[in-house]
Amino acid sequence: KGRILSGVQPTGNLHLGNYLGAIRNFARLQNDYECLYCVVDMHAITVWQDPKALAAQTREIAAAFLAAGVDGDKHAVFNQSMVPEHAQLAWIFNCVARLGWMNRMTQFKEKAGKDRENVSLGLYAYPALMAADILIYKATHVPVGEDQKQHLELTRDIAIKFNNDFGVPDFFPITEPLIFGAATRVMSLRDGTKKMSKSDPSDYSRINLTDDADAIAQKIRRAKTDPHPMPETASDAEKRPDADNLLGIYAALADMEKDAVIFEFAGKQFSEFKSALTDLAVTKLGPVGAEMQRLMKDPGHVDRVLHAGAEKARAIAAPILADVYRTVGFLNP
């Protein structure tokens, strides 16, 4: 059986993209893999987080994992900072990764923008911590959205360099990405060329997992489209990013191929499609949102799951870190 690690940052506004690109798949993988699902609070503070909000947001993400069907008894659900081995291995990876590799990371370039002098060192080193998150468990597979593929490649490069540098050929595995179906990249409802994102200032750009039926309906009604009827073919859809995005969301929520959705709505009015999409989104997301709200009212339960998860995770991580320390030559008299 392979081992899976995946994480979500507790940075608020958990959205449909996080759900379809990551969290929904967490539950789908748990019968076939040993799973570790992590709320990556240490990644979150690479940009400023209000401490009180961070704690609440950490519980919110854990609640989302559980609401999406992750079994916290069978698998490890925990927050990253509870397992110090992540940070300990990350330091070693900071010394393995090369500046040239880090300089190629597009997410850093996007997030740092023009004001490079003023972003945290942590934001730059983020991918090395992500490599540590994965390799501290020698995870074989990582389910990620398209946007994380480059970071996973860096993880593989770090594993290969560590194995070579220290002459331990199979020490770290070369982790494989698991990328799923239609909605691996959900785009903004206001701009079909930009990804749906927690940090987008417009709440109308995304469907939050905690949105109620009215909010979902309003956001879909206001979602950007073009003045033409629905696309008739896949190649027509591809040229119309806003329509294409909504079709992809429909396909993912309905577990259908996008081509089948295009066929079903070909040439119809957007209003008709949007009303079908609203019904589908409310049916699929409503129960997840409601369960999340219920769990967030019971922080004691969520905290117990996180605590037990961290213990399970540490039981795997601690011996691997001890091996790494010996390999590197750290003295432990």
Binding residues for ligand AQP, rule: CB under 6 A, are: 8-9, 11, 17-18, 21-22, 144-145, 147-148, 184-186, 195-199
Does the annotation list 9 as a binding residue?
yes
Reply yes or no on whether 219 is catalytic.
no
| 30 and 61 Cβ atoms separated by less than 8 Å | no
Closest approach of ligand AQP to the CB of residue 111, in Å: 7
Residue of 138, 195, 219, 258 with catalytic role: 195
Closest approach of ligand AQP to the CB of residue 171, in Å: 26
Reply yes or no on whether 258 is catalytic.
no
Would you say 57 or 225 has its CB closer to ligand AQP? 57
Does the annotation list 82 as a binding residue?
no
| CA angle in degrees (0–180, nearest 5) for 307-29-246 | 110
Would you say 146 or 165 has its CB closer to ligand AQP? 146
CA–CA gap between residue 114 and residue 26 (Å, rounded):
35
CA–CA gap between residue 277 and residue 275 (Å, rounded):
5
In sequence order, the 6+-apart residues with CB closer than 8 A to the CB of 297 are: none
Would you say 56 or 95 has its CB closer to ligand AQP? 56
Residue of 111, 149, 161, 224 with catalytic role: 111
Amino acid at 296: M
With the CA atoms of 25, 27, 30 and 35 taken in that order, what torsion angle do they form, in degrees rounded to the nearest 10?
80
Would you say 13 or 225 has its CB closer to ligand AQP? 13
Does the annotation list 196 as a binding residue?
yes
Does the annotation list 219 as a binding residue?
no
> What are the structure tokens assigned to 323, written together?
């091996």
Closest approach of ligand AQP to the CB of residue 219, in Å: 15
What is the CB neighbour count within 10 angstroms for residue 202? 10
Closest approach of ligand AQP to the CB of residue 47, in Å: 8
In sequence order, the 6+-apart residues with CB closer than 8 A to the CB of 111 are: 47, 119, 123
Reply yes or no on whether 239 is catalytic.
no
Q: Is 329 left (phi over 0), alpha (psi -120 to 50) or beta?
A: left
Amino acid at 97: A
Which 8-state DSSP code applies to residue 142? E
Would you say 72 or 127 has its CB closer to ligand AQP? 127
Residue of 149, 161, 198, 284 with catalytic role: 198
Does the annotation list 148 as a binding residue?
no
What is the CB neighbour count within 10 angstroms for residue 278? 17
Closest approach of ligand AQP to the CB of residue 107, in Å: 7
Does the annotation list 113 as a binding residue?
no
Instruction: Show binding-site residues.
Output: 9-11, 17-18, 133, 145-147, 186, 195-199
Q: Which residues are designated catalytic?
A: 111, 195, 198
